[in-house]
């Protein structure tokens, strides 16, 4: 029977965006099978709050509307390695072995190596070896967070079987032995699986190094740290080789190479890590471990069910394929770009698709009864990642052993990237973040009659500055947090020229990520030193496996957000907000046009995101971190809620900060403006909740809306 933890109907697209004449392919699973329908809608507003703009779609079924035969498509979660052809050898005494590091004991049996019916595994109680139905097990499991040599040995001549473990720190070995009558071993040449069983189940969550098949029988292992070369294996896989790839290479004479499934994490410190190098590229032999996880998920690999070719005359914008079947519905968001090299409007909205992907299926543990009651009352998106672990978590979640999730795929259903998805049960607003929160901007543009194109982070990474050149102004979303070196360079080059940037969020341009053409649809993140972090990378594991670059904060990579946007992350609290107060620079004739029509000295004490325009995550200016000379600080938040804290990278000690100000003083958002030498300009709001305050008293109106319109119309002119 299908798992009840699957949606009635769901899916994903080949990518988030395409241009006219290009084709989206949809990969859909219908849990119970049967007829299903897909139709095109334009997404105008994704906020289901009855006090806000509401869920608004334009029905475009006359453009695309198909019925198809739905079928259930399985998700095979869990990473492992596959060797399609194992080594051929004589049927004599054999040993299967690997170095293993555990962060947590398995709750059920997890396989280290499987070759046919020969299995070396870990159980909650010990190390187990199984051959032909006979099982031998140690009386206790390996200690946590230290390396052990595990092995299973068998001699068909005597029927002896041994399974053992020995720590590499000099501790005593533990061995269990038995005699198995009529013992038969595989002759070789068959499939071998590492970190799962032969069917791709019983997944292991652990670091593994040097898995190998050795000749001979061992009921003791006197040199557990021996290298593969010293072991002279029949087959042995050196994980320190080809780290950026999904290949595993056999150092044995038969070259039984294999491949990885579901993106386990490479460039992990191994059993022989010396600490002399922090970058795996400089000492790959120190990084011979792969961290496998039972909940890893790369490309779902579903078959495509339908295709939608973008009509030449379809305007650039935010759309979705609305999926329906007898049991339910879902939406697959997509963006349509203008033809390459063209702009159909002077304004471009840059959708933060890398950030949407980093947060994809963030299971927060907050989908309680009150949250679900609000979802039902508002008719919001009804599904939450807390209830659907099968679709895998986000880079804000942890694996079963407490290690952080380093990879996120867009080739899977993403429940958090849906119109109407509520992140929080927001007491003062809608509780939206990311994709649905950014529809506040799209709905505002629609209400103001301002023409715009949509582009995405992934397009910007691929096309660089050429994507931005046709536009007078580029608007970010509410939280453009995750960027590659190519997206940052493109935005910097754009503003150094005649481009105008409106940074409309907070905590933007914060984390460095890696994407690569060899792993389409995947995003890699290492949460290295500093920053507000959901987890911390282990020392020595700060460099991406895919591009070899140092991960972590852009600030730690000498590219603070202030260099691009004038402001950078400084304070954070619960999902609540406060107001801004104008500063003298706001009344300077050079900047007064920004506040034309805004009365009073304070504004923004309202909104659909936490009830205030300055909230949740706040950015401030700092010349020492790159805020350009001549930047005008126009307004500053005040009275931060009690939940707010100063972010760690601003603190040198519990009392001393990087600026010399008090920690409390750094819990502020600042609105800034500066011109660039090339004729461009930047306007930044310094708050993640700013765009929620475009709405006031039942319409897109009020001071925040007026400021936005003043800036955008001047920039687009």
Residues in the chain: 717
What φ, ψ does residue 193 adopt, rounded to 5°? Answer: -125, 135
Q: What is the pLDDT of residue 38?
A: 98
- DSSP reduced 3-state for 279: coil
Q: How far is CA 115 from the centre of its chain?
A: 33
Q: How far is CA 43 from the centre of its chain?
A: 24
In 3D space, the residue among 558, 574, 346, 326 whose CA is nearest the CA of residue 470 turns out to be 346
Q: What is the pLDDT of residue 133?
A: 86
Task: Report the Cα–Cα distance between both ends of the chain, in Å, rounded.
Answer: 60
- Give dist(CA 411, CA 409) in Å, integer: 5
Q: What is the pLDDT of residue 4?
A: 57
Residues in CB range of 587: below 8 A, 6 or more apart: 595
* Tally of CB atoms within 10 A around 597: 10
**Predicted confidence (pLDDT) per residue in 97-145, tens digit:** 999 999 999 999 999 999 999 999 999 999 999 998 899 999 999 999 9
- Give dist(CA 399, CA 402) in Å, integer: 5
Q: What is the pLDDT of residue 187?
A: 85
- DSSP symbols for 329-366: EEEEEEEEPPSTT--SSSEEEEE-HHHHHHTTT---S-
In 3D space, the residue among 461, 571, 464, 608 whose CA is nearest the CA of residue 520 turns out to be 461
Residues in CB range of 362: below 8 A, 6 or more apart: 385, 393, 394, 396, 397, 416, 423
Average pLDDT over residues 673-683: 97
* Tally of CB atoms within 10 A around 447: 17
Q: Are strands 645-646 and 602-603 parallel, antiparallel or unpaired?
A: unpaired
- DSSP reduced 3-state for 372: helix
Buried b / exposed e over 387-409, threshold 16 CB at 10 Å, is: ebebbbbbbbbbbbbebbbbbbb
In 3D space, the residue among 334, 658, 623, 350 whose CA is nearest the CA of residue 481 turns out to be 350
Share of the chain above pLDDT 90, in %: 97
- Give dist(CA 571, CA 650) in Å, integer: 9
**Predicted confidence (pLDDT) per residue in 598-627, tens digit:** 999 999 999 999 999 999 999 999 999 999
What φ, ψ does residue 417 adopt, rounded to 5°? Answer: -105, 65
- pLDDT over threshold 70, residue 1: no
Mutual orientation of helices 703-716 and 434-448 as an angle, nearest 10°? 70
* Tally of CB atoms within 10 A around 160: 18
User: Which residue spans within 338-472 are E strands per DSSP?
Assistant: 347-351, 407-409, 453-456
**Whole-number average pLDDT of the chain:** 97
In 3D space, the residue among 645, 319, 630, 691 whose CA is nearest the CA of residue 502 turns out to be 691
Range list of H helices, 536-627: 561-565
Residues in CB range of 373: below 8 A, 6 or more apart: none
- DSSP reduced 3-state for 717: coil
CA distances from 162 to 133, 181, 227, 489 (A): 15, 14, 21, 58
Q: Where exactly are the structural domains of the chain?
A: 9-76+303-318, 80-292, 319-716
**Predicted confidence (pLDDT) per residue in 392-450, tens digit:** 999 999 999 999 999 999 999 999 999 999 999 999 999 999 999 999 999 999 999 99
- Is 306 within 8 Å of 66 (Cβ atoms)? yes
Q: What is the pLDDT of residue 391?
A: 98
Reading the block at residue 674, the tokens are 């500066």
Longest distance between any two alpha carbons in the chain, whole Å: 95
Q: What is the pLDDT of residue 2?
A: 46
* Tally of CB atoms within 10 A around 331: 22
Query: Domain 80-292 carries which CATH code?
Result: 2.60.120.200
pLDDT-based confidence at residue 196 (cuts at 50, 70, 90): very high
* Tally of CB atoms within 10 A around 625: 20
């Amino acid at each position: 029977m299908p798992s009840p933890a699957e949606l009635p109907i769901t899916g994903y697209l080949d990518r988030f965006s395409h241009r006219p004449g290009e084709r989206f392919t949809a990969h859909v699973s219908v849990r119970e099978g049967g007829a299903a329908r897909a139709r095109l809608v334009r997404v105008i507003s994704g906020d289901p709050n009855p006090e806000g703009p509401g869920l608004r779609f334009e029905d475009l079924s006359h453009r695309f509307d198909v019925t198809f035969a739905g079928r259930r498509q399985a998700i095979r979660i869990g990473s492992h390695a596959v060797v399609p052809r194992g080594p051929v050898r004589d049927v004599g005494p054999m040993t299967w072995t690997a170095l293993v590091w555990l962060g947590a004991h398995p709750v059920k049996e997890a396989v280290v190596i499987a070759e046919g019916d020969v299995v070396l595994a870990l159980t909650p109680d010990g190390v187990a070896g199984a051959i032909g139905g006979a099982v031998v097990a140690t009386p206790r499991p390996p200690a946590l967070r230290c390396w052990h040599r595990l092995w299973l040995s068998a001699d068909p001549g005597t029927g002896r079987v041994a399974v053992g473990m020995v720590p590499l720190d000099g501790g005593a070995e533990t061995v269990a032995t038995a005699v198995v009558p009529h013992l038969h071993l595989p002759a070789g040449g068959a499939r071998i699986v590492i970190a799962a069983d032969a069917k791709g189940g019983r997944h292991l969550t652990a670091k593994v190094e040097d898995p190998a098949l050795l000749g001979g029988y061992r009921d003791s292992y006197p040199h557990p740290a021996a290298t593969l070369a010293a072991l002279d294996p029949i087959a042995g896989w050196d994980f320190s080789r080809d780290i950026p790839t999904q290949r595993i290479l056999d150092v044995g004479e038969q070259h039984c190479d294999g491949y990885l499934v579901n993106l386990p994490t490479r460039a992990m410190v191994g059993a022989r890590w010396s600490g002399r190098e922090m970058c795996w590229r400089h000492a790959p032999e120190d990084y011979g471990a792969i961290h496998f996880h039972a909940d890893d998920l790369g490309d779902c690999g579903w078959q495509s069910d339908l295709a939608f070719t973008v009509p030449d005359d379809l305007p650039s914008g935010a759309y979705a394929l609305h999926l329906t079947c007898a049991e339910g519905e879902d939406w697959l968001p997509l963006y349509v770009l203008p033809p390459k090299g063209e702009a159909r409007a002077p304004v471009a909205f840059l959708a933060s698709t890398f950030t949407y992907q980093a947060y994809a299926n963030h299971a927060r543990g907050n989908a309680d009864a009150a949250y679900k009651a609000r979802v039902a009352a508002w008719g919001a998106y009804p599904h939450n990642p807390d209830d659907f672990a099968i679709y895998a978590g986000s880079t804000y979640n942890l694996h079963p052993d407490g290690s952080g999730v380093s990879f996120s795929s867009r080739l899977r259903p993403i429940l958090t990237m849906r119109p109407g998805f509520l992140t929080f049960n927001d007491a003062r607003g809608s509780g939206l973040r990311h994709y649905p929160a950014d529809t506040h901007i799209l709905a505002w543009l629609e209400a103001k009659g301002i023409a715009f194109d949509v582009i995405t982070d992934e397009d910007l990474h691929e096309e660089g500055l050429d994507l931005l050149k046709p536009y007078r102004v580029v608007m970010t979303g509410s939280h453009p947090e995750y960027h590659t070196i190519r997206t940052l360079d493109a935005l910097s080059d754009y503003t150094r020229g005649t481009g105008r940037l409106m940074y409309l969020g907070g905590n933007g341009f914060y984390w460095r990520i890696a994407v690569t053409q060899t792993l389409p649809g995947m995003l890699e993140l290492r949460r290295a030193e500093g920053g507000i972090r959901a987890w911390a990378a282990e020392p020595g594991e700060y460099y991406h496996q895919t591009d070899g670059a140092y991960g972590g904060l852009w600030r730690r990579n000498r590219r603070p957000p202030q260099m691009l946007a004038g402001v950078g992350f400084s304070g954070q609290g619960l999902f609540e907000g406060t107001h801004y107060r104008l500063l003298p620079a706001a009344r300077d004739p050079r900047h007064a046009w920004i506040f034309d029509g805004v009365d009073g000295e304070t504004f923004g004490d309202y909104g659909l995101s936490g009830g205030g325009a300055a909230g949740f995550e706040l950015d401030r200016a700092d010349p020492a971190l790159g805020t350009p000379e001549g930047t005008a600080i126009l307004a500053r938040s005040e009275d931060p809620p009690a939940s707010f804290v100063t972010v760690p990278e601003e603190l040198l000690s519990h009392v001393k900060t990087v600026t010399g100000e008090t920690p409390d003083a750094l819990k502020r958002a600042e609105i800034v403006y500066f011109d660039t030498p090339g004729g461009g300009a930047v306007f930044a709001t310094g708050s993640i909740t700013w765009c929620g305050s475009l709405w006031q008293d039942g319409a897109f109106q009020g001071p925040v809306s007026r400021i936005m319109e003043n800036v955008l119309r001047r920039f687009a002119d």
